[in-house]
Structure 1
């Protein structure tokens, strides 16, 4: 007896990890609604796995459009099993170089749009008493670096919100997984990125050097989106899905190094930390 196909909504399926995940899940028999910013991109997505992949136009910062997309899916299938918040972009620049407009737009797209779509889908999943929310975060959501401070901030915010949400929805039989990729062979550091308009020469030796390294490696990153998609699907299909799924050796090594450094500093300053209570 064949299992009933699950209904997915994946944002940002024009390429990279989002498109690879859509293809992998559809190839395994599920039905995928993928969002794209341009109408002319829809046909190619519809033809990715014919009869299984369906493109919908959506700017994730447009909440009216967002609710129309969800209603369209419910009208077709009366349920939504898996939400993947994948759409987003990288903002490059030292903290001082960034304008408030650039910073706010990064947070709007990478955090507030994700929050809005997650909130919009939760009533459906609560009613079903089932569902899985996949937040595409980043190794940058756990470890910050120069030149991507606001991107780090957007992903740190996503991590904090999602960690709390996972606790809230656990009794409702709804799962949540944060996916934390390292460098994957996508357009994230290339055409999809945005750079600060303001440049300050004093930061050339810190953020400047790192951004040159990031942009110079675009198209040569070690991570394979197709393999990343398989890993995400494996986690979703698990009877005990992880809260966090790190993708790639670069990410795993960097995050482990961060936690090691944090623990070492905690231990070094432990006496000072503990000596802050009232004397009883």
Structure 2
């Protein structure tokens, strides 16, 4: 990482900051001169982030707060602390999330509800709570960490894809609502990167005995593991967040890496029957 920039006076709030994209985004923004409020469910999990921050000379710029996006009182406490301590919020990065996998027929309703609570309703709750302060901060900006699964549905990803499709729809509406107020809304749609979310969400998936989806589930899991192992550097996504934060006029959607853009283009341009055939043939290799 380059030598840190001087402090800009700007404040960023990053959810899901204990690992993966969230951790890297915190470091990237701090290096750019932001004061970064790093939200995480367990503050004791901040060791990895703060160790990296100390190594980069950024520890004074990162402030860890306890944040469970499913608990409104913790969201309110975090935003109140930002308001009382700095009086502004320039950038909100909605990154917190988890991945629930499995085939639609076999995933329990409780698991479906949990997935939507964290990835969608939690994101909405953080956004609603932060907006009053952000509206008072000139040229503030909201970034939503979506996914290729917010545009393309794959077998075995039903709950996760549904939650990200929901985030995409909400973000489109919010963009139209906030643009007249001078605020930008941005979606980032990463493909598979080697972050902990996949291990946490998909490691325990197993088809029940006699399941008609047993073979396809194994193919999906093998494909997911292989893709994650061959994926690019998650730092690429953190750098993209940094570029968006600096941009005077960011786009609404960003898709990385290159393969993700090609997959989405294929879905948009090909007849769905052909696209479906390609996806299933790829999984069955």
TM-score of the aligned structures, taking structure 1 as reference length: 0.87
- Name the counterpart of 1:165: 174
- d(CA) in 1 for partners of 2:184 and 2:164? 19
- Name the counterpart of 1:245: 254
2:9 to 5, 29, 38: 5
2:27 to 2, 13, 23: 23
State the Cα RMSD in Å. Answer: 2.0
Contact 2:14 2:39 in 1 (8 A): yes
SS in 2 for 1:121: helix
Larger Rg: 1
- Name the counterpart of 1:211: 221
- Name the counterpart of 2:183: 174
Matches within 5 A, 1:181-196: 181-193=190-202, 195=204
- Name the counterpart of 1:45: 49
TM-score of the aligned structures, taking structure 2 as reference length: 0.86
1:120 and 2:124 correspond: no
- 1:167-222 Cα shifts (integer Å, max 9, x gaps): 1100111111000000112112113547557636211233331123213554x242
Alpha-carbon shift at residue 4 of structure 1 (Å): 2.7
- Name the counterpart of 1:227: 236
Counting matched residue pairs gives 263
Which stretch shifts more, 161-170 or 52-61? 52-61
Alpha-carbon shift at residue 112 of structure 1 (Å): 0.4
Alpha-carbon shift at residue 250 of structure 1 (Å): 2.2
Matches within 5 A, 1:2-151: 4-47=8-51, 48=53, 49-151=58-160
1:256 and 2:252 correspond: no
- d(CA) in 1 for partners of 2:106 and 2:272? 32
- d(CA) in 2 for partners of 1:262 and 1:194? 33
Contact 1:17 1:225 in 2 (8 A): yes
Structure 1 gaps of 5+ residues are 266-280
Contact 2:88 2:136 in 1 (8 A): no
SS in 2 for 1:179: strand
- 1:91-124 Cα shifts (integer Å, max 9, x gaps): 1100001010000000000000001111111111
- d(CA) in 2 for partners of 1:194 and 1:110? 19
Contact 1:99 1:196 in 2 (8 A): no
